[in-house]
Amino acid sequence: MFATFDFDVIRRSLGYLFLEGMTFTLTLTALSAVGGIIFGTLIALMRLSGYKLLGRIAGLYVDFMRSLPLVLVIFWFYFLVPYVGQWVTGASRPVSVGAFTSALVTFIMFEAAYFSEIMRAGIQSISKGQPAAANALGLTYAQTMRYVVLPQAFRNMLPVLLTQTIVLFQDTSLVYVLSMPDFLGAASKVAQRDGRLVEMYLFAAVVYFTISCVASFGVRRLQARISIVR
């Protein structure tokens, strides 16, 4: 069965696959996770702020993003972001946004909806007495959040946030639809050029599987440690 396979094609393209493809994927994952968690926390704070309108807007945003397939959102943003840039900066023509930036904006905006739900649960898991105590000590709302609530919420939710980041890592493969050179995109470019779909896609599957497996194993260890400490 494997007689007709040409595993050398993998070896020959390793440099391109990892130096360019995997770098693209990991950079995109890391930046989107950081951006998504920050933006997601803001959304969660909006939802829990007690201002009806603000909470409503945040809730709608989350529901809206969560009803759409990521593929559609990726197309939307790739075509729309330059116009938004034009509108924001007041330029006379659409602002040129590169493929990477566009993908980054897409993933931050999309994943923020998911991260915000996690952060919301984390904030709600903090007992009411703590913000009340902080308030009694004279801390402002911002200080309470900054020094008391958010650090704990973030810590409690760290395993879930990391699990979502693994999902995000897998989701970045969808930029394939835009021909971007992420890991899968790079693998498919080599696969199609050399007519070696079987070898390259199997290899890509093994790489994604290994990374995700090791990462989720790490998250499980972390979770066990955190739960013992408490």
Partner 1 sequence: MKRNAMIGYTLAAALCAGPAMAQELTGTLKNIKQTGAITLGFRDSSIPFSYLDDNQKPIGYAMDICYKIVDAVKKELKLDKLEVKLNPVTSSTRIPLLANGTIDLECGSTTNNVERQKQISYTNTHFLTASRYVSKKASKIGSIDDLKGKSVVSTSGTTNIKQLTEANAERKLGINIIPAKDHAEAFLMVETDRAVAFVMDDILLASLVAGSKAPGDYVISKDAFSKPEPYGIMLRKDDPAFKKVVDAATAALYTSSEGQKIYDKWFTQKIPPKGLNLNAPISAELKNQFAKPSDSPDPDSYK
Partner 2 sequence: MSYNWNWSIFFEPAPGGTGTYFDMLLSGLWLTIQTGVFAWIIALVFGSVIGVLRTLPSMTASWVGFAYVEFFRNMPLLVQLFLWFFVLPELLPRSWGLWLKQLPNAPFYTAAIGVGLFMSARVAVQLAAGIASLPRGQKQAATALGLTTSQAYRYVLLPIAYRIIMPPLTSEFLNTIKNTAVAITIGLIELTGQARSMQEFSFQVFEAFTAATVMYLLINIVVVTGMRFLERRLAIPGYITGK
Per CB under 8 A, residues contacting partner 1 are 16, 20, 78-83, 86, 90, 92-99, 102, 176-181, 186, 188-189, 192-193, 195, 197
Decide if residue 30 touches partner 2 (CB under 8 A).
no
**Residue 7 lies near partner 2 (rule: CB under 8 A):** no
**Angle subtended at Cα 209 by Cα 208 and Cα 211, rounded to the nearest 5 degrees:** 65
Query: Residue 93 gets which letter from DSSP?
Result: S
DSSP secondary structure string, 26-50?
Answer: HHHHHHHHHHHHHHHHHHHHHHTSS
Binding of residue 33 to partner 2 (CB under 8 A): no
**With contact defined as beta carbons under 8 Å apart, do 168 and 110 qualify?**
no
Q: Is 98 helix (H, G, I), strand (E, B) or coil?
A: coil
Q: Are 100 and 131 in contact (CB under 8 A)?
A: no
- 212 near partner 2, judged by CB under 8 A: yes
Tell me whether residue 147 or residue 217 sits nearer to partner 2 (CB atom).
217
From the list partner 2, partner 1, none, partner contacted by residue 99 (C-beta under 5 to 8 A by kind): partner 1
**Under a CB-based contact definition with an 8 Å cutoff, are residues 26 and 173 in contact?**
no
Minimum CB distance to partner 1, residue 150 (Å): 36
Candidate ranges 26-34, 124-132, 142-150, 168-176; the one touching partner 2 (CB under 8 A): 168-176
Direct distance between the N- and C-terminal alpha carbons of the chain, in angstroms, rounded to an integer: 53
Amino acid 208 reads: Y
User: What residues make contact with partner 2 under the rule CB under 8 A?
Assistant: 1, 63-64, 66-72, 75-76, 79-80, 83, 86-87, 93-94, 170-171, 173-174, 176-177, 184, 197-198, 201-202, 204-205, 208-209, 212-213, 216
